[in-house]
Structure 1
């Protein structure tokens, strides 16, 4: 056929010239055009050509041991690297750290969106992503070494607001990957776990007069791919290469092919493996308490991956939508070598579009890992311990989610923990502290989060911190943990310590936590009881979580119904221990109390061992002119009723 674009890998790689700008696809260990990477490495080893390439990529694309972009480590092959992740190609990262090549570590979403800018002939991208991190030109501009001189990021002001402008780099060669191709180069992706940025990369190279080389699994008859199934049209594709041997086209380095990850089939998820109760599961369980019902959630690599397994085990997956920055939406997120994909996904969209959604505020919550954290709440995941790891999608995600939970062990390097008898036992402390006076590099800015009043938690196996106005505060401690010996002794700074509570005991017992009741605030009626002899309505809010105004409204309705059944005004005692009310909802909660006091209550008292909860409650009630009868213990609350309640009952009007 005159338009047959199918050639060998060696023939395709022979078209690349010295100094070309090459971009490649792939996410962590998935969707990597291994045959093309191997052919480029082979040509350079044999001929020392092409030389001085610029490599542009989003996420890491390799196994960290030499496959994927790790094949490009040979001296002279690369002159410059623009990437979100260097951890998957450690020898390339080492070359950058040794000033042998130029390098930029930019946010994954920014690079992903820059492909579109290149395709559209635009000079670059305006974004707030990266402000006050190491990407901000005031703090380094994303340059990874002294050899890198040219600025790719500029600080600009638009209508009185700070923005970053990222300069686009024109692309000469794009390595993309699909499943099937017809001779004209139309590409489909029916057996791929993700579609990533293949279309945008192909447009960027083609519109610059460059090459688009597509690695596929098979060639199909001309015209046999349905028009809507073509992800990259043949008009953009210069050459098609069939992976040979087939192992060069594995779904990822650990899986040859899994049709549940590509969306070809749906599988039962009830039998997915249950996590062992260890420190990783403890962290995932505690973080899972922050999951927003009916919300959209992103989970990072490492400790946060466990939340997907916990959510499935607790049967709450149908009530939340888990996503990955790679483009998977819904289903049960995969881990290990399949990280980035999802079993039984609802949809798989392009990576750049996923970052549009994230950057625009679409995420209700994210849970991400943390390598280092400092006294200001800054987090570092990009450069630490002598390693250049890179930020990946961390900056896009953490800066724009409505709620951020950082998750990881308290120390690392030899840490040994046992979860026994409902307690945490530190058998051997880790060699490396994570909570430092200063992080080596700011990947997440605590000050920027405070400025925008973004809720931020730091969850470990032994305690939980929250970022408050005055800094990092210890708010929860695991049973079996001594604050001085097991926490403060292994931090370079002292956090705010006022009245930390015990972490929920269910986290440390190897049986279902019934998390669904907490997330959906089910069984509200079971939280309310009435003692007719004393005319006291008891409300137990232990474990209740008010995330939205809807939660407040549902509680109001349940209390009104209970009071109407009694048929007269009641005294009320409320247990606030373990209750969690979003700080933005305290006024709504106080308004509910005012409503009930005017219509159904004689008087009401409440108690909470948490000094912070008592303070917030008193402030909210005082604003509405209500008497803040908030006590530390139940006994004090009931004694108050005995003194005041009978007097109030004598002069009480009928319930409204």
Structure 2
């Protein structure tokens, strides 16, 4: 006979024993099995059992005020916590800081993938995620206090390369969540915003001889759920608990939103517009880094605003926004709904999303920053006496093809005014973000440089770029004085060569025509021709070549401009403020080689950026093109004039670059 697995929360939680390893689902404020957490708390407060549990979880699952896993803070209930985020259970974090419990802070994607390793009976997971950060055993191994001594992360070498091996911890109890369940325990998720790791968690507990407790909002009859609608089969589920509506909210701020659940699609053109403040300035500037037709991840905080800006500017159809929680496409949600998306194209499991991220699938990410130092290291995990945790930050920042860190320049009371297209600091923040050395390395600038990963740091008043020599100030907001408003509020002096002015459109409360920039629709406006002197001028100031498609667009514009003259031309290119992804230098040099062969008499360029000059010279030399890249405009013009004089004398002139 079939067993009816529907029981009360009290009956289900009575199955949890002292010392069990418990895993629970949830992402920030969404998809949390609140009824199960509440029942566990009540049982412990009334009976003193179960005690000494190990809690394993990926993202934070709570409201930071005591709900979700925050309910499990009572002394004696937990003995050890392995989590990516501690910030949403502050009393548990404080217990870890005070050496009252054992604790490990590991990357979210690693924990997510370890569920699968547990389910498959594997000893652990090999990954490069975490190398050169505080998770690396050479820098702490992810331990959050001195009480925690056991190593669960090891540094190993495989075929001459460094890897981290993360030890799997067997799971005894899994708390999961769905929408509907039949009496046999088959679970569907039609009203959930995310699917997360519920299947992998259930399989991990079941295959270890443990129990799986599922929270749902309703029971349906046997045979009602279609096979493809069942996300967790009943063979993995031991108990089903029907939760009261208040304990089964989509998230703490939303009872249910069918657009977030993928049940309907809603118009997004009328979505509320962000006010023009410091947060929007940061989001607007970061949005200029969006790669057309690329896949993007946005972090919590200031980066969330990029989704709204992309929607305002009509860019959303040309990029695919994703979250580590599993949402692909649509307009990313913020606030209590962070992690989900309105009108998503699809929702995949969290561990699958991290497979995609770790493998290099992200074209760009924009993440927050709590601290940044002279070496470009970023800290988001432990600062100011607060154990926050890394979440998915390490997986995402280490593996994205380009990284933008975004946040205000200072924090704690910062007030700004935007007037007449310029920025004015009304009140400086109480705490500095740009310091000599970060408290904990969540992102390694040196490791990024080692892998030639492009990294920007965007604030409301300026933009920095990571270089081999450290942080370089490359852009300054209109109205901002470098000495007074930037250098005076940093603990170190960045490289300052010739920073350009941030795009003034960012500081005017009108559409920026961002789409035209991202699709290079106005690229032809950067080209002009002096017929009398037979000089083609190309102004690339402030332009960013992100992808091979950008180089192809530039090549097309230049070929058309040259062909329109009806003869070979001399060319001068302004590269001040120009940026190009490291992977594109050879493509750029190949374009110049083609133009020299078919359209140019002589070409030269100039930039005050010494690093860019060196990179261009190296790329051009490999192509056999004379590597003359000048520092100043007048030097480039002088070279071109000299070349013309030599040509006028009938002497051969090598195409220069």
Query: Whole-Å Cα distance in 2 between the matches of residues 123 and 616 of structure 1?
Result: 44
Farther-moved stretch of structure 1 (527-536 vs 76-85):
527-536
Question: Matched residues in 1 for 2:348 and 2:288: separation?
Answer: 28
CA distance in 1, matches of 2:239, 2:501: 61
By how many angstroms is 1:169 displaced?
Answer: 1.0
**How far 1:105 sits from its partner (Å)?**
0.7
Matched ranges for 1:144-183 at <5 A: 144-183=144-183
Alignment-derived partner of residue 599 in structure 1: 598
Match in the other structure for 2:189: 189
The answer as to 2:51 corresponding to 1:69 is no
**Contact 2:452 2:582 (8 Å CA) reproduced:** no
> Is the partner of 1:436 in helix, strand or coil?
coil
Q: Secondary structure at the match of 2:439?
A: coil
The answer as to whether partners of 1:81 and 1:101 remain within 8 angstroms in 2 is: yes
- 1:304-357 residue CA offsets vs partner (Å, 9 max, x unmatched): 111111111111111111111101111111111000001111111010111111
CA contact (8 A) 2:188 2:232 kept: yes
1:201 matched to 2:201:
yes
Task: Give the equivalent residue in structure 2 for 1:214.
Answer: 214
1:284 aligns with 2:283: yes
**RMSD value, Cα:** 2.1
**Aligned counterpart, 1:320:** 319
Kindly state the Cα deviation for residue 581 of structure 1 after the two structures are TM-superposed. 2.7
After the TM superposition, which of the residue ranges 254-263 and 505-514 deviates more from structure 2? 505-514
The structural deviation recorded for 1:215 is 0.4
Cα contact 2:613–2:629 (8 A) shared by 1: no
Q: Distance in 2 between matches of 1:606 and 1:324?
A: 41
* Displacement of 1:173: 0.8
Runs of 5+ unmatched residues, structure 1: none
Distance 2:182 2:627 in 1: 76
1:262-315 C-alpha deviation (Å, 9 max, x unpaired): 100111111111111111111111111111111111111111111111111111
2:273, 2:308 within 8 Å by CA — same for their partners in 1? yes
Hey, what does 2:655 align to over in structure 1? none
Deviates most, 353-362 or 594-603: 594-603
- Preserved CA contact (<8 Å) 1:54 1:79: yes
SS for the counterpart of 1:200 is helix
Q: Give the paired residue count.
A: 651
CA, structure 1 residues 228+492, in 2 after alignment: closer, same or farther (shift >3 Å)?
same
- Residues 56-95 of structure 1 mapped to structure 2, 5 A cutoff: 56-95=56-95
Aligned counterparts of 2:579 and 2:75: Cα–Cα separation in 1: 56
Give me the whole-angstrom Cα distance separating, in 1, the residues matched to 2:627 and 2:74: 73
The Cα offsets for residues 191-230 of structure 1, whole Å up to 9 and x where unpaired, read as: 0000000000101111111111100011111111000110
Distance 1:144 1:98 in 2: 10
CA distance in 2, matches of 1:652, 1:306: 58
Q: Mean Cα displacement is larger for which, 380-389 or 610-619?
A: 610-619
1:85-164 to 2 correspondence within 5 Å?
A: 85-164=85-164
CA apart distance, 1:639:
7.0
**Alpha carbons of 1:231 and 1:426: their partners in 2 closer, same or farther (altered >3 Å)?**
same
Paired residue for 1:380? Answer: 379
TM (normalized to structure 1)?
A: 0.95
The CA distance in 1 between the partners of 2:345 and 2:246, in whole Å, is 28
In 2, Cα distance between the equivalents of 1:557 and 1:626? Answer: 23
Give the 3-state SS of the residue equivalent to 1:554 in structure 2: helix
Give the match's secondary structure for 1:262: coil
Partner residue, 1:569: 568
**Do 1:605 and 1:631's aligned partners in 2 also have CA atoms closer than 8 Å?**
no
Shift of 1:557: 2.5
How far apart are 1:233 and its partner, in Å? 0.3
1:409 paired with 2:397, answer: no
C-alpha contact 1:295 1:364 (8 A) present in aligned 2: yes
Q: 1:265 to 1:497 in 2, by over 3 A?
A: same
- Aligned ranges for residues 143-542 of structure 1 at < 5 Å? 143-244=143-244, 246-542=245-541
Structure 1 114/627 Cα, relative in aligned 2: closer, same or farther at 3 Å?
A: closer
CA shift at 1:525, angstroms? 3.6
Instruction: Quote the offset at 1:120 in angstroms.
Output: 0.9
CA distance in 2, matches of 1:478, 1:105: 37
| Cα shift at 1:554 | 2.7
SS at match of 1:260: coil
Q: What's the counterpart of residue 9 of structure 1?
A: 9
CA separation in 1, counterparts of 2:123 and 2:620?
54
**Structure 1 residue 62 displacement after superposition:** 0.2
CA distance in 2, matches of 1:629, 1:125: 47
Deviation per CA, 1:505-527: give whole Å up to 9, x if none: 21111111111122121244444
Cα distance in 2 for partners of 1:627, 1:446 equals 29
Q: Secondary structure at the match of 1:559?
A: helix
1:624-639 correspondence to structure 2 within 5 Å: 624-626=624-626, 628=628, 630=630, 632-633=632-633
Q: Distance in 1 between matches of 2:158 and 2:53?
A: 35
Distance in structure 2 (CA, Å) of the matches to 1:501 and 1:611: 15
2:556 match: secondary structure: helix
Q: State the secondary structure of the residue aligned to 1:399.
A: helix
State the distance in 1 between where 2:56 and 2:78 align. Answer: 11
The answer on whether the counterparts of 1:126 and 1:164 sit within 8 Å (CA) in structure 2 is yes
Residues 627, 394 of structure 1: alpha-carbon distance in 2 compared, 3 angstrom cutoff: closer
In structure 2, what is the Cα distance between the partners aligned to 1:512 and 1:650?
53
Q: Note the 1:573-588 alignment, pairs <5 A.
A: 573-588=572-587
Distance in 2 (alpha carbons) for counterparts of 1:563 and 1:161: 48
Secondary structure at the aligned position of 1:259 is classed as: coil
Task: Name the SS of the counterpart of 1:224 in structure 2.
Answer: coil
Q: Aligned partners of 1:591 and 1:234: how far apart in 2?
A: 58
TM-score, normalised to structure 2's length?
A: 0.95
Contact 2:178/2:215 (8 A) holds in 1: yes
Unaligned ranges ≥5, structure 2: 653-657
- Cα separation, 2, equivalents of 1:485 and 1:531: 41
| Counterpart Cα distance in 2 of 1:474 and 1:231 | 49
Query: In the aligned structure 2, how far is the partner of 1:590 from the partner of 1:154?
Result: 42
Looking at structure 2, the residues matched to 605 and 96 of structure 1 have their Cα atoms a distance apart, in angstroms, of 60
Aligned partners of 1:468, 1:619: CA distance in 2, in Å?
17
2 CA distance for matches of 1:616 and 1:136? 32
Once residues 203 and 293 of structure 2 are traced to their aligned partners in structure 1, the CA distance between those partners, rounded to angstroms, is 36
Deviates more, 1:146-155 or 1:171-180: 146-155
Task: State the distance in 2 between where 1:434 and 1:565 align.
Answer: 51
Residue 602 of structure 2 corresponds to residue 590 of structure 1: no
